[in-house]
Every structure is written in C-alpha cells, then in structure tokens.
Homo-oligomer: A and B are copies of this chain.
C-alpha cells in the first residue's frame, strides 16, 4: 500500500527563516510587518532568507494574536449576483478592492430577510474586515449584536432601518418623479405605476416620487393605478395585461424596476400596443435602445454606487473605526428612447 501523501504539506515557518538568517523570530516579524527598529543590514539579510526559503507568512496564524486583525476580506450582499444592476455594482467594488489586495465574498439576498441575517453571520464568522450590504429585513437592529462594533458597514441601494450607517443609493424619489413628470408632460393623465413588494425600500421611495409628480400636476392619486408585489417579469406581464384590459385603462406606465420593465414590454407586444401605450422603466436594460420603440428609462449608475460605497468602506477601514454615517445619493438619468415619448390617444 502506497503511503498517502502528507495531508499537511510542511510549510516553511518563521522559525526556519529566523534560523537561516541568523536572527531572532521577532526580527523576522519586524521585517515583514515593516516595524521600526531593524538595522538595514539585518533587514536585508532577513529578506534574502525569506526569498531563498520562499516563505510566505501565514495570514491566519498572524491574525490569531494580532490586536487589530485584518483578513483583507470584505463581505458583499447583493440583491442577486446575477442581476445586471447588482453585478455592475459588484464589479465596481471588486475593482477598488482588488487594488488594495482585498478579496470579496459575494452573496445573494433574494429579498429574503432570513438570508440577510444568515449572510451577515457567515461573513462575520469568517472575520471579514467590513460589510457592504443590501437589506430587506424590516429592521437592521440585529446588526448591533451580530457585528463587532468596529466593523465598518455600508448599505447600498436601500436604506437600513433602526441602524445608523453609511448608505449609498440612487435618487429614487427624484427618478420616479422625473419619469412621471415626463409622461405627464406629454399629456398623459391616466398613469399606472408598477412596483415590487412594498417591503422593499426602493419600491416605497419610487412610489413616493410618482405621487409627488402627480401632485405637482394637480392630479388625484385615485385616478392612477398602482400595482405592487411585482417581483418578476412574469407577474409584471400579467399585471400589465390585466390593467390594460380594464375600462379607463392607463395610457402610460411607469415601471419601478428592471424585471418589471421586461414584463411590461412583453405584455405590450403581446397586445400589439407597444406603439400607443407609453412606458418608462426604472433602471436601464441592455439592448433597450435597439427595441422598437426604444425603451425610455430612468437609468441608475451602478458603477458609481459601487465606487462610492467601496470608497466609504475603505475610508472607515483606514480610519480604524466607523466614520460618521453619511447618506450618499447618486443621481439618475432619464434616457428618452421612444417609449416614454408616446402621446396619449386623445392628445
């Protein structure tokens, strides 16, 4: 029977390096950590030994005794890693992190409060240096006992409740308001708003913007149709099909999200009404410009959100403590492409 290969390949240790360089263990430690009080000549000798023995410090062991433990790792919780908006944020954060030799754990929330807590627990257990979170639970108070008090946290896309922390998100209210105003400006008076579940903060914010715009134009909210609870394109398609079949159907639609827009476009196509019912989506879609008519959207800036969130997190990390919570609002851009510039039949 052949002997099994050693399950624990003997790594070189700091001890061997010290011996090889003819110095004490602590001096090697000083060198690799750039601590002062090492004679240049000694340092050089140590570095040569490290090189020669191809030693790499064991980060895990180092953190065991260190007071200010740094795993050079952060936890990122996204709506879903496969959602294009989230994936773009992810990419931006990764780029900043990679630059600092920090690795990123990525998880998907799936708008499930239980997953939110589980993900944070998993991150904390792995001793990440900081957290960038998308939240959906009714309250984030649980973080106070789950997360070490010094660990920086930045929320993205949605504001937390009962927990003060940095937050980076789009200007949802203004975006929805712009979209709605835009449609009203083209003469529409009967509008529909399609939004996700109201548990989701952005859905509520976008509804707020929608209502503000109606108010500006002196339109009674009752004349508008607001459909909520739409979390995928199938539900959205069904909703649009039914709402357009009703009497006094809306002449324009504001979609509160990515997947809802896709569902709405499907429905309009199916009804053959994509040229006479106006539509503006929230969040951009790839190929939206190549559709006929092009799909007008309020585009978010996911890369900017990621950039800013990462910058905040690393600022706290560099400071060694949570900085004063700052809410950062990233602008959105209304992109007219055709579908949002359709006039109502009567106008």
Contact = CB atoms under 8 A, between A and B. Distances in A.
Interface of A: 5, 7-9, 56, 59-61, 63-64, 67-69, 71-73, 80-84, 87-88, 90-91, 94-95, 98, 101, 103-108, 122-123, 125-127, 148-150, 262, 265-266, 269, 285-288, 290-292
B122 A94 contact: no
Given A56-B125, A88-B82, A94 B108 contact: yes
A134 to B, nearest CB: 14
A8 B108 CA distance: 30
Copies in the complex: 2
Given A82-B88, A262-B287, A105 B107 contact: no
Contacts of A98: 107
A80 B81 CA distance: 12
Given A64-B64, A103-B122, A125-B56, A149 B81 contact: no
Contact of A290 (B90, B122, B265): B265
B67 A94 contact: no
A191 B341 CA distance: 39
A127 B126 CA distance: 12
Contacts of A286: 84, 262, 285-287
Contacts of A108: 91, 94-95
A64 B61 contact: yes
Q: Which of A60, A88, A95, A125 has the most CB of B within 10 A?
A: A60
Contact of A60 (B8, B90, B94, B127): B127
A104 B71 CA distance: 15
B73 A82 contact: no
Q: Closest 5 CB pairs between A and B? A: A82-B91, A82-B87, A87-B87, A287-B287, A106-B106
Contacts of A88: 82
A5 B150 contact: yes
B94 A87 contact: no
A143 to B, nearest CB: 15
A67 B8 contact: yes
A6 to B, nearest CB: 9
A265 B5 CA distance: 55
A80 B98 CA distance: 13
A60 B68 CA distance: 15
A288 B285 CA distance: 12
Nearest to A274: B290
Contacts of A291: 287, 290-292
B285 A59 contact: no
Nearest to A76: B106
Given A98-B107, A285-B286, 4 more contacts: A82-B87, A262-B286, A262-B287, A287-B288
B60 A64 contact: yes
A60 to B, nearest CB: 5
A202 B103 CA distance: 27
